């Protein structure tokens, strides 16, 4: 029910005529009639006057707060941008990334949208070429993370638009590693939506000249895509390529676009290989199932504080593997841990994962 109708209902319940309400609130009878009929907006001061006269709360705090935001203007953007502006956006992007990894995309994507509007608006300011290049890079990272958060929250269509925005912005940064990571995140979304062949086409790019961590991410994503389509030979080949690239990573030299993920570095190889082999195990590979179980277990132990979503998703896969091997008691124990942590996340992907475990917990 809209606020105007709520005001009318409250007045009539109290047995107060419109004329008396107008006299007591010092608003004209015609104005109040239009508000109650929905022909004029019920401003907070009108609703407050009704509440005072009738001695009841009519609006919910949410409605009232929302109305207070009506007409709130955006802060003016600077006419000239410098490195300090870019550094602030980088810090905001890192904060949003940490929030997404730990709490899911539900809150992070909404915060990211506002930051992204501000960041894109800065492109209209005058700035030096080095500042513009770095700003393009942070816009690409912010758009990519916001899009991934939206995807995690279930907004798949809008997420695709932001992936394209991220790729476009990365062109201005002239950063091959950044572009490759954006493509890998987009491929991950395609695999989740059931399009592994499209994901493979997406990341069919030359690896030469890319940082080891970028090659690791691309090979891991290819392994997962091949596992999803059931190509065992290609899956194992890219698993080994991913591990080789992982061994060459020097954390002191990783690109800026992956620094927010460095805290989970010890677990990434086990998680990514575990995901690929979990996908392959669904096609009947006992070898893949056994190694996936070991790798996911190791990832769960290695992920530290702040990576709740990765831990929960690994626990879900591990529980399903244990159940497939007939170890129902262990499977239920892992599933309970996943539910305990996962129910607090704002993540459509995690919610879908947890739904797969309901049969286990009901047994």
Domain ranges, ordered by start, for the chain? 3-68, 81-174
- pLDDT higher than threshold 80 for residue 68: no
User: 10 Å Cβ neighbour count for 300?
Assistant: 23
- Measured CA to CA, the distance from residue 171 to residue 360 in angstroms comes to 47
Dihedral-angle region of residue 326 (phi above 0 means left; psi in -120 to 50 means alpha; beta otherwise): left
pLDDT on residue 184: 96
pLDDT tens digit sequence for 156-212:
888 888 999 999 999 989 999 999 999 999 999 999 999 999 999 999 999 889 999
Q: Is residue 6 pLDDT above 50, yes or no?
A: yes
pLDDT in tens, 95-127: 999 999 999 998 898 899 889 988 998 988 999
Backbone angles phi, psi at 94, to 5 degrees: -65, -40
Beta bridge partners of 126: 80
Between 59-63, 109-113, 316-320, the lowest mean confidence (pLDDT) is in 59-63
Burial status of residue 356 (CB atoms within 10 A of its CB: 0-12, 13-18, 19 or more): middle
Cα torsion at 61, 65, 70, 75 (round to 10°)?
A: -170
Q: Supply the pLDDT for residue 273.
A: 96
What is the pLDDT, as a whole number, of residue 1?
46
* Confidence grade of residue 77 (pLDDT, cut at 50, 70, 90): confident
Does position 38 have pLDDT exceeding 50, yes or no?
A: yes
Gap between the Cα atoms of 293 and 316, Å rounded: 11
pLDDT tens digit sequence for 213-247: 999 999 999 999 999 999 999 999 999 999 999 99
Q: Which CATH number fits domain 3-68: 1.10.260.40, 3.40.50.2300, 3.90.550.10, 2.40.30.10?
A: 1.10.260.40
Report the C-alpha gap between 225 and 192 in whole angstroms: 10
Percent of residues, the chain, with pLDDT higher than 70: 94
The answer, yes or no, to whether residue 363 has pLDDT greater than 70, is no
pTM score, two decimals?
Answer: 0.79
- Mean per-residue pLDDT for 288-292? 93
């Amino acid at each position: 029910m809209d606020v105007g109708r709520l005001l009318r209902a409250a007045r009539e319940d109290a047995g107060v005529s419109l004329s008396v309400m107008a006299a007591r609130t010092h608003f004209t009878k015609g104005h109040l009639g239009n508000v109650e009929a929905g022909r004029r907006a019920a401003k907070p001061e009108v609703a407050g006057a009704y509440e005072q006269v009738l001695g009841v709360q009519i609006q919910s705090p949410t409605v009232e707060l929302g109305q207070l935001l009506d007409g709130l203007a955006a802060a003016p953007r600077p006419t000239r941008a410098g490195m300090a502006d870019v550094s602030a956006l980088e810090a905001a992007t890192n904060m949003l990334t940490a929030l997404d990894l730990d709490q899911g995309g539900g809150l992070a994507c909404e915060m990211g949208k506002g930051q992204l509007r501000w960041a894109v608006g800065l492109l209209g300011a005058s700035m030096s070429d080095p500042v513009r290049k770095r700003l393009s890079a942070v816009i690409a990272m912010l758009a990519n993370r916001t899009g991934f958060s939206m995807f995690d929250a279930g907004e798949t269509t809008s997420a695709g638009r932001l992936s394209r925005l991220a790729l476009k912005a990365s062109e201005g940064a002239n950063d091959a590693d950044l572009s490759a990571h954006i493509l890998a995140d987009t491929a991950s979304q395609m695999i989740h939506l059931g399009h592994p062949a499209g994901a493979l086409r997406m990341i069919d790019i030359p690896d030469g000249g890319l940082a080891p961590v970028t090659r690791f991410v691309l090979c891991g994503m290819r392994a997962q895509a091949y596992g999803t389509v059931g190509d065992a030979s290609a899956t194992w080949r890219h698993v080994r390529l991913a591990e080789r690239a992982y061994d060459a990573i020097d954390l002191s030299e990783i690109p800026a676009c992956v620094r927010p993920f460095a805290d989970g570095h010890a677990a990434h190889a086990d998680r990514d290989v575990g995901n690929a082999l979990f996908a392959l195990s669904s096609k009947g590979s006992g070898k893949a199932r056994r190694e996936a179980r070991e790798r996911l277990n190791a990832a769960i132990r290695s992920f530290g504080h702040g990576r709740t979503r990765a831990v929960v998703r690994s626990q879900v896969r591990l529980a399903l593997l244990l159940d497939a091997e007939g170890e129902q008691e262990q499977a239920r124990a892992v599933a309970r841990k996943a539910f305990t942590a996962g129910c607090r996340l704002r993540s459509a992907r995690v919610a879908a994962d947890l739904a797969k475990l309901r049969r286990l917990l009901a047994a």
